[in-house]
Amino acid sequence: MHTSIESLFSNLWHDYVAMTPSAEKVHQLLGDGDELINDHVAFRTFNLEKINLDKLAAHFLALGYEEKGQYDFEQKKLKARHYEHADDTKPKVFISELLVEEFSEQVQQIIHKMVEAIPADAVNKEDFLYSGTHWNVSSNDYETLLQESEYAAWVSAWGFRANHFTVSLNHLKHYNMLAEVNEKLKQAGFELNTSGGEIKGGPEVHLAQSSTMADRMTVKFSDKALTIPSCFYEFAERFPLPDGKLYSGFVAASADKIFESTNAK
């Protein structure tokens, strides 16, 4: 487990930018020299005991985070929870897990084999949340997973690491609205996720979100290398609830589309 929130997020960020070269560029474009505040960081895993959502969440609970929301994604066969820290300048955390038993025998076998290869004590180690893969999968296994679940294929290729960081628009000095940020990103040549529209949600659900499409990176599988989607960058604008406090949850209908930022185009 990590001893400080700052060092955990700093390690996560360094791993993430190494897998997502465009993130550094987006960071410079929007930050304009200022510090960017992260709304949240997201992780993916499988619902198998050794490395399930709870095991990932334990790293954040140990640092003072608390569970604040639960979400179901029936079609994608996923469930998720989000965590917040009492210090609301700390990024929120969104963790999802794939419901492995709902997939074909073939897919289940590939996933079980991957998870069996993880050393028993790896999940509690300080670096687990940015430890990547602990297994060997073939390009065929990757393609087999991809046919049933883009998410399963992504985890097989990238393992445990931040799937995305999210810029908090509420803390950006030079922009007022998500639409402005999207225009700036497109002008600079970044490709946005258009599933469900460029902007998912809005003031009516107290959260507006957009994201880039994931970068493409080359991954060495056991037999050959493939160039596939890696990680993406998200942008979130939160709106006040009737009591005046900013909404701090997630919106399942929007999240459902954000997951598709790692689809192959």
Report the C-alpha gap between 207 and 249 in whole angstroms. 8
Q: Interface with ligand OOG includes 94 (CB under 6 A)? A: yes
If you write DSSP's letter for every residue of 175-232 in order, what string do you get?
-S-HHHHHHHHHHTTPPBP-TT-SSEEEGGGTEEEEEBPPPEEEEE-SS-EEEEE--E
Element (H, E) at 26: helix 21-31
The residues in 7-46 that bind Ni ion, with binding defined as CB under 5 A, are: 42
Rule CB under 5 A: say whether 260 interacts with Ni ion.
no
C-beta closer to Ni ion: residue 47 or 212: 212
State which of positions 200-239 bind ligand OOG (CB under 6 A): 209, 234
Q: Which of 23, 42, 178, 231 binds ligand OOG (CB under 6 A)?
A: 42
Smallest gap, in angstroms, from Cβ of residue 37 to Ni ion? 15
| Residue 250, contacted partner among ligand OOG, Ni ion, none, CB below 5-8 A by kind | ligand OOG
**Contacts for 143 with CB less than 8 Å, ≥ 6 apart:** 153
Binds ligand OOG (CB under 6 A): choice among 20, 45, 163, 210? 163
φ/ψ bin of 172: left (φ > 0), alpha (ψ from -120 to 50), beta (otherwise): beta
* Least Å from the CB of residue 71 to ligand OOG: 8
The half-sphere exposure of 56 on its side-chain side, counting CA atoms within 13 A, is 27
- Beta strand 164-168 with 38-46 is antiparallel
Report if residue 83 touches ligand OOG, rule: CB under 6 A.
Answer: no
Site residues for ligand OOG, window 111-150 (CB under 6 A)?
A: none
Q: Is 95 in the site for Ni ion (CB under 5 A)?
A: no
Candidate list 97, 234, 237, 256; residue touching Ni ion; CB under 5 A: 234
Binding residues for ligand OOG (CB under 6 A): 42, 44, 94, 96, 163, 209, 234, 250, 254-255, 258-259
